[in-house]
Amino acid sequence: MNYVGEIVGVGSFIPPKAVTNFDLEKLLNTSDEWIQQRTGIVKRHWVEKNVSTSDLAYEASLEAIKNAGIDKSEIDMIIFATLSPDHDFPGTGCFLQDKLEIPGITVLDIRQQCSGFIYGLSIADKFIRTGDHKNILLVGAEIHSKGLDKTPEGRDVSVLFGDGAGAVVISRREKTSDDQSQIISTALHADGSYAKELWLPGPGNAFEDDRCTLAMIEEGLHYPKMNGRNVFIHAVKRMAETLTTTLKKNNVTIDDVDLFLFHQANIRINEKVAEVMGIPAEKIFNTIHDYGNTTAATIPIGMSDALKAGKLKKGMTVGMAAFGSGFTWASGLLKY
């Protein structure tokens, strides 16, 4: 039997607490003008103290399952992409599974950062095509706000990130034509030689003795570090490369694609990718102005918002690209 995977339900959840650039001016010695000019971000949403990553994922998952028109008991696999888990172990997918009350099914956590959703989409597609699974819940969820340096020393990184979750249900169907809704193609890449250009140094088992010490905390190793210039250069290059290759592989042109969903790290990155590839601005759906960088959640949140805004409709051809820590990068093509 020749199977394909189809996205049949999309959901998202954004914490209600909005944090504007003006709010950050009071903490980070920055300005609304500085942030907008360099990133395009106007606000982001941060959770309250008693909310976990799996809590956000749960809300997004319920919406995706509802929109898929199935019962949660019909889900037979969860793929959870996050770099901000509830705990070091077990994986956050298990906490989500418990909250959804669907024990016994396959649960897989992946750590591909900003590329996590497309990596997860590729994994789901492979499982669907084997015929082993029928309805896969793919979730990207992040809580960055609890792990940011909210002092002037953390300004360059802390202005970028927001919290949120997005989810999709991918269902199996027998392939009957190339025009039906389906995941057409994905491409996954990484280059670990750049791992320390965007990373969280500690805690960790790469240290000589204890994985977490007071000295690490005092040095600020528990806050993310980034070489912003190098990340920008590689993001533009790699996103354009992988998306171009994916389109060519499937004999698809820019004109054939109805909507592009890019990872939302910096509006300048997306504008440059569009310039390099010759993509009209009106074909790119951006959300960074409202949410900042929500890492693995950005593309499914964008998909959800595009649906609600009437920008994404059934039958459209959608191109995707992402780049993030690792370095990892990925692209995808689907018929919605």
Catalytic residue numbers read 114, 263, 293
Q: Residue 88 phi/psi, 5° resolution?
A: -55, -45
CA dihedral 267, 269, 116, 49 (to 10 degrees): -40
- Give the pairing of strands 317-324 and 164-174: unpaired
Of 320, 5, 83, 286, nearest to 187 by C-alpha is: 320
- Determine which helix (DSSP H) or strand (DSSP E) holds 14, and give its type and residue range: none
- Give the pairing of strands 182-190 and 164-174: unpaired
In order, the DSSP letters of 106-157 are EEEEE--GGGHHHHHHHHHHHHHHHTS-SEEEEEEEE--GGGS--SGGGHHH
